[in-house]
Structure 1
Amino acid sequence: MAPHSNYFHDVNLDFSDTQFDLLMQKRIHKVLLICSSYDAFMLEEDGRIEELIFNEYVLHNLRYPPSFVRASSATEAIDVLQSEPIDLVISMLNIGEIDTFEMAKMMKSICPQVPIAVLTHFSREVSLKLEKEDLSAVDFVFSWLGNSELLLSIIKLIEDRMNAEHDILEVGVQTIILVEDSIRYYSSYLPHIYKVVLQQSKMSMREALNEQQQMLRMRGRPKILLATNFEEAKELYDKYKDHLLGVISDITYKMAREDTFKVKAGFELCRMVRSDDPHMPFILQSSDKSNSENARELGVGFIYKYSRTLYSELRHFIVSQFAFGDFIFIDPETGQTVGRANNLEAMQAIILTIPDSSLQYHASRNHISKWLFARALFPVAEIFKRITPEDFQDLVQVRQYIHQSISNFRFKAGRGVISKFDRTTYNKYLTFARIGDGSLGGKARGLAFINNILNKHKLFDKYPGILITIPRTVVLSTDIFDEFMESNGLSQLVLDDLSDEEILRRFLDCPLPEKVIPDLQTFIGVVSNPIAVRSSSKLEDSYYQPFAGIYSTYMIPRSCDDKRVFLLLCQAIKSVYASVFYRSSKAYIAATSNVIDEEKMGIVLQEVTGSQHENLFYPTVSGVARSINFYPIGSEKAEHGIASIAYGLGKYIVDGGISLRFSPRFPKKVLQLSTPEMALRDTQKIFFGLDLSPETFVPSTDDGVNLRKMEIADAPEDSVRHVASSYDHQSGVIMDTLSGLGPRVVTFSNILKHKTFPLAEILAELLEIGQREMNNSIEIEFAINLETPKGQPKVFSFLQIRPIVEADQLEEFSWDGVDLSKALVYSESALGNGRIHNIVDFIYVKPESFDAAKSMEIAAEMEELNARFIQLKRNYVLVGPGRWGSSDSWLGIPVKWSQISEARVIVEAGQKNFRVDPSQGTHFFQNLTAFGIGYLTINPFLGDGVFNQDLLDSMPTEYESDQIRWVRFDNPLDIIIDGKKSRGLLLQNTEMEKPSE
């Protein structure tokens, strides 16, 4: 076999989505049935026609059953046609007052687009009568044989004809052409053919990933098109031959409708079809047994019409010849079965093992593509239809090509879809699945939205050599949480005033619902990386009350001991459930005016992005990016967005560690790297990795119990080389390699400057698309693995998207007349927008006595003060050094949100020996801004902003300690934050220029 093409090398083919929702757009909704009362009774068989049809629709998993309107005379029928929207007319042959065919002409003159079918009892006299009638106004004549399935067939046949051109030519739906001029035979054939086709559609539904897809895939079933003469058959064939499963044809019929004589036109039609495609399935049927010999010479099937097993033979031919049912691989020499595939997964597996002779036989006859077409798997079927074994060097390449193409298609099909978890079919190709029928929760909804965006904008493989995706995800919906709480009697327990440790212990003692156990075991069997167990509460990441970082996220290692991994997974799930009722969570819920009983917890189980380094696992890059930059510097603008990235697990960023800040529009301009001194001082020194030893995961209220904090200097060189530079002592410069003799500096220069990975371009596009899709400023979380196996794409994992809620807009404010000498605080790096009212309390950490070593004590002290403000139902201004909410006590005061939840304005004030960047990018930062809290950054010692400590020191105190001072004003402070100009001002009085009208 010579390689005639590059098909084998092009296994990353773009499989476009089949738009099943656009199929079958034209439907029969209302049928006018014209018949006498007696005929109606006979048709209904003591029941209603609607019920018969409805039952047929339910039996075949069909939707949209039509309704029926009955008329007993031509006059009544025409009145109905003129007054109601009718899609189909079915009339009995004898309606009394007027000839049926004359009535049909009258109806066509009124509604020419409405199809008309005549239903008649079968007899020789009727047949002779019909041969003499003018049938020009009648679309079809059917013979009523007492089978209610005929009504379904009539409706489906006409719907197929109505939708054929679009569905077949535009989407690729397949067709079966039936050529038969005998009313009696096509009236009996059609119900049997449709039954086989609808059964095949049920089988193809198994390839769907959820119930919605199953219903939509039914629309992709093969269409049946009826011709009653050679001319009609040729016209249908010429139009749809590229989408043909096969032909069922009578032998003796007219060449054209107006012809008088019947000829053996079936043979001519067969020769014409087989000349185009020698392997096209063709079934001839005749009442003359002698025609079987001619059929044998033509190499096609033959059915004797008078056979006692006519319909079973017909069914057998359709199933075996039109690629319905299982794919049967045969030995071409013996005809023996050598393999069987009942779905796409089985086909992918068996293609690697069947004998060469069988593969050659089926591949050269397009059997595989036809089987795929019959199952409505159009994109991959189209690919296989265009190739033959001669396009490859050998059968090894054929196998690999088919296997890899199916693999790529299955990955593509699993993207952008929320599949229903089925332990019998769950596999590595499914990106997002759900267990349970309740809500997904906020975080999972965000992930589902991301999945949809990536699919909608075809971003998965837009960048060469890079896969943009969400990690493999399974969601336990909130009804699993409800069942866990109820079955274990935990509802009352959580209302008691118990310690966090006691709540966790009680939760761990309770079993998960029995029904999810095998699902979790199946999930473990599919994933190969460690598993992140993340919260996804109903309130989490909602538009106006984001709960980012409030609940716990645990990571468990993936070892070869599945039983142990399963135990750890169950413990982690129950630990996340317990975190809903920890004291900090309750305080947050109360602060947002929610009721804890309203909170429901979903669980996101997700493969961790990254690679293994000895006994640690972590990604090359973790990051947070926002579509709006509240702290633009230089040529940056607010709408350019901002990103913060770090080496290792993202917990380092969300806990407030020193990350690298850059604008995706200006990735080479990084303030932290502007001088070697700044680079050495203001870049990442430590990173987090997941300890892969199973014994390190011990259920705890600390969700970072098995995360190890490591020095950048100790990171493996083969990993850190992607992100680190080195300082050269001799030249005093930062080198973009690790060849310098000095310390490593995490600059990400290889990525941002030398573009070894197009991070800035990807972030810019994702932020722009995400903001447009959400119609709101957004924040995203991501992780990147650059250490994938050779030949495999680098992975950009899109982990989360959430809206950034900006404060109410401030009227245009004039700063010209503001006397800054009267300002308590003035900042030109202010986050927020609007006026803040009714604040009289001011708490500040005394700069002169601040000791970073005592920052933990300050956090505990603030918790006690905050509790007093909760009781007083008052808010306050809070000023302190460095980053509020940092997990590193040397960068600021490590408070949690619940410890300062009543603060309405927060000021980060740098000192001469304690200057840090704003906390943008942390969960703490996200939660503060979400509540419209004024957030100011000042460095007065550099002339950047004002802090009138002298005025505050002169005031009497409500409370004072070695580190903290609390003063109270007689009148509310005037607080203005101008988000457009990034300015913030706190004044003791209101003697200033009012907002302009």
Structure 2
Amino acid sequence: STPQSYFVATDVFDQFKDTNELTWVMNQKYRSADEIRELYPTIKDRFNAGSFPNDITQELQDLLQRHKGQPIIVRSSSLLEDSYGTSFAGKYHSYFCANQANASENLDSLSKAISKIYASVYSPDALLYRKKMGLLDYDERMAILIQVVEGDKHGNWYYPPIAGVAFSQNQYRWTPRINPDDGLVRMVCGLGTRAVNQTTDYARMIALSHPNIRPESGANAIQHYSQKKIDVINLKTNSFETQSITKILHGKLKWLRLVAMQIADDYLSKLITISPNIDSKTLVLTFDQLLEQTNFVSQIKRMLQYLSRHYNAAVDIEFTTKIEYKENKPIASICLVQCRPQSLRTENSPVTIPTDLHKTQIVFKSHGMVQDAQVDKIRFVVIVPISAYDSITDPTRKTQVARIIGRLNHTLREERFVLIGPHRWGSSNPDLGVKVTYADVHNTKMLIELVPDSGRKTSEPSYGTHFFQDLVEANIYPLAINLTQDEAYFDESIFSDSPNLLAKLSPKDASYADLVKIYDIQEITNGNTLSVVMVSSTEKSVGFISNTNKK
């Protein structure tokens, strides 16, 4: 099925700009990166203060009245974002409207959501992406898709039992047994935002060829890499919220045993019966019984195959799933929310790690899920040290680190460089990683994440999120170095006596030299560069100093 949907055509976008004297924003795409960033807050304010023509306002009022009390979601829908090879994943945001207030407030909320999407056409992320993809001269005319949110009411909360994103091609295999042609699902309980957005939480990864083979094993690991928070609509406060699963999930939910298990004494057990007395703190979201007891896997595979066949290309979709019961047998009913061509990284030939590397050549080693790749001739390394970043107590300084990375991304745009930083690049929470966006990193060759050996914070590669799709399209390779593993390490000694080039390359940021360090590998090693080899079959990666003139 598909949700009830309504379409606001592109001519309304043009009318909105004309009515509110905003046609001058058309020149935004030809400004410099710094000018685009500087002017965008003004553009957002002007669009937010805009109003719609009377006939459009009346139609929006009629729509809200028709679905009075039903939450809705407002999505972008443009020709460029859904074209082949350019998914624009995450460039334009979607907005939930709880639709629980009076008619005037509901209309204002819907109007503001549309105007925010209109303004995002001129955001740094969207414009710099268009520039990189050679799409700057195209006229991006924005349409709007308004959909009724699929879900159910549970007290004051509204959410679907299951939602997520699925890909017809699985490029993120964690075992050679997985067939990439069968696809991949990234699944959560609640609204699907936690499956597609970059968060500090975890989604269930399902390889559709082998749905029961997980990336992790053991009860403790499964619990650690399980979803801890859930996105819902609070009908009482008329807002979108993120809550702990312990607050939302309870033993009266009939479908609970399909999505959750209980943990006790390091052992995971099925929920045999549903009872109000279940301790929500013992619940672990695994979705195992959903995969075993329902037709979800076969349904989603058929859906992906059907859509791929008619698109004549790999696709990615967003979906929700409702659980229905027929003679007490659970049946998964999937609702297709969105579909677009999937962005695919060119499959590389198998690579091997050189066997003659001397220990002094090796900068880092890692063990974990990767794609076959070899990135050579890296001249500059930009490092955000873990200890220095974690010691920042002023949130504005952490935000400033992200802005410095963005400026260096522009300064080094003609160079081959990598970014190495703590925890998770692109985290929505700056305490758990540098809060960068596509516009801040799109020129780098790799995004390398350091997971500290203290164990205080951990990270997973965010396969399937919009931020990860950005990396795929920009041909940027992600790599996580988990320093808790015996085989993994990052040797910073090679840089210990070398000059930090931050003040030279970005003089205005010189006071942040303890938080952002830039090194010229050629200068340090008398003309050599850094190479990184990642091998999927062994899940091993090595970064080493290589002779640039060799071969």
TM-score by length of structure 1 reads 0.47
The 5 Å alignment of 1:84-233 reads none
State the SS of the aligned residue for 1:707: strand
TM-superposition CA deviations, 1:504-552 (whole Å, max 9, x none): 3322333324443444344334446311111123321433333211222
Aligned to 1:523: 63
Q: CA deviation at 1:618?
A: 1.4
The 5 Å alignment of 1:821-836 reads 821=359, 822-827=361-366, 829=368, 831=370, 836=375
Q: CA deviation at 1:562?
A: 4.7
The 5 Å alignment of 1:678-827 reads 678-693=221-236, 696=238, 706-717=239-250, 718-719=252-253, 721-722=256-257, 724-725=259-260, 727=262, 729=264, 731-737=265-271, 741=279, 743-753=282-292, 755=293, 757-786=294-323, 795-810=333-348, 813-815=351-353, 817=355, 819=357, 821=359, 822-827=361-366
Aligned to 2:45: 505
CA 985–885 in structure 1, closer or farther in 2 if over 3 Å, else same: same
2: distance between equivalents of 1:894 and 1:931? 18
Q: Is 2:448 the counterpart of 1:907?
A: yes
1: distance between equivalents of 2:263 and 2:480? 33
Aligned to 2:473: 930
State the SS of the aligned residue for 1:714: helix
TM-superposition CA deviations, 1:430-469 (whole Å, max 9, x none): xxxxxxxxxxxxxxxxxxxxxxxxxxxxxxxxxxxxxxx2
2:518 corresponds, among 966, 977, 980, to 966
User: What one-letter code is carried by the residue in structure 2 that aligns with 1:798?
Assistant: L
Q: CA deviation at 1:988?
A: 2.7
8 Å CA contact 2:386, 2:450 repeated in 1: no
The 5 Å alignment of 1:339-354 reads none
CA 854–595 in structure 1, closer or farther in 2 if over 3 Å, else same: farther
2: distance between equivalents of 1:637 and 1:801? 22
2: distance between equivalents of 1:688 and 1:852? 30
User: What one-letter code is carried by the residue in structure 1 that aligns with 2:203?
Assistant: S
TM-superposition CA deviations, 1:38-84 (whole Å, max 9, x none): xxxxxxxxxxxxxxxxxxxxxxxxxxxxxxxxxxxxxxxxxxxxxxx
Q: CA deviation at 1:642?
A: 2.6
**Worse-superposed segment, 532-541 or 561-570:** 561-570
Aligned to 1:632: 174
2: distance between equivalents of 1:853 and 1:687? 28
2: distance between equivalents of 1:669 and 1:890? 32
User: What one-letter code is carried by the residue in structure 1 that aligns with 2:64?
Assistant: I
Q: Is 2:478 the counterpart of 1:478?
A: no
Report percent identity of matched pairs.
22
More RCO (CA 8 Å, sep 6+): 2
2: distance between equivalents of 1:471 and 1:482? 27
Q: CA deviation at 1:590?
A: 4.0
TM-superposition CA deviations, 1:796-830 (whole Å, max 9, x none): 12122333433445456454645274343455656
1: distance between equivalents of 2:327 and 2:98? 24
User: What one-letter code is carried by the residue in structure 1 that aligns with 2:290?
Assistant: I
CA 532–470 in structure 1, closer or farther in 2 if over 3 Å, else same: same
TM-superposition CA deviations, 1:233-289 (whole Å, max 9, x none): xxxxxxxxxxxxxxxxxxxxxxxxxxxxxxxxxxxxxxxxxxxxxxxxxxxxxxxxx
1: distance between equivalents of 2:490 and 2:247? 41
Q: Is 2:217 the counterpart of 1:667?
A: no
Q: CA deviation at 1:684?
A: 1.5
State the SS of the aligned residue for 1:928: helix
1: distance between equivalents of 2:351 and 2:224? 38
Q: CA deviation at 1:745?
A: 1.5
**Worse-superposed segment, 879-888 or 608-617:** 879-888
CA 771–835 in structure 1, closer or farther in 2 if over 3 Å, else same: farther
8 Å CA contact 1:629, 1:638 repeated in 2: yes
- Larger fraction in helix: 1
2: distance between equivalents of 1:608 and 1:775? 29
2: distance between equivalents of 1:613 and 1:925? 33
TM-superposition CA deviations, 1:881-905 (whole Å, max 9, x none): 3322232456543322223233221
Aligned residues: 512
TM-superposition CA deviations, 1:214-247 (whole Å, max 9, x none): xxxxxxxxxxxxxxxxxxxxxxxxxxxxxxxxxx
State the SS of the aligned residue for 1:957: coil
User: What one-letter code is carried by the residue in structure 2 that aligns with 1:505?
Assistant: D
CA 759–794 in structure 1, closer or farther in 2 if over 3 Å, else same: closer
Q: Which structure 2 segments of 5+ residues have no match? A: 29-34, 503-511
TM-score by length of structure 2 reads 0.80
State the SS of the aligned residue for 2:23: coil
Aligned to 1:362: none
- Larger fraction in strand: 2
**Worse-superposed segment, 781-790 or 621-630:** 781-790
1: distance between equivalents of 2:260 and 2:76? 36
1: distance between equivalents of 2:356 and 2:399? 35
Aligned to 1:952: 495
Aligned to 1:877: 418
CA 724–812 in structure 1, closer or farther in 2 if over 3 Å, else same: closer
Aligned to 2:546: 989
Q: Is 2:20 the counterpart of 1:488?
A: yes
The 5 Å alignment of 1:838-849 reads 839-849=378-388
User: What one-letter code is carried by the residue in structure 1 that aligns with 2:111?
Assistant: C
1: distance between equivalents of 2:399 and 2:173? 26
2:390 corresponds, among 821, 839, 851, to 851
2: distance between equivalents of 1:776 and 1:597? 23
1: distance between equivalents of 2:536 and 2:27? 41
Q: CA deviation at 1:937?
A: 2.7
2: distance between equivalents of 1:507 and 1:776? 36
8 Å CA contact 1:845, 1:964 repeated in 2: yes
User: What one-letter code is carried by the residue in structure 2 that aligns with 1:734?
Assistant: L
User: What one-letter code is carried by the residue in structure 1 that aligns with 2:319?
Assistant: F
CA 773–955 in structure 1, closer or farther in 2 if over 3 Å, else same: farther
8 Å CA contact 2:353, 2:535 repeated in 1: no
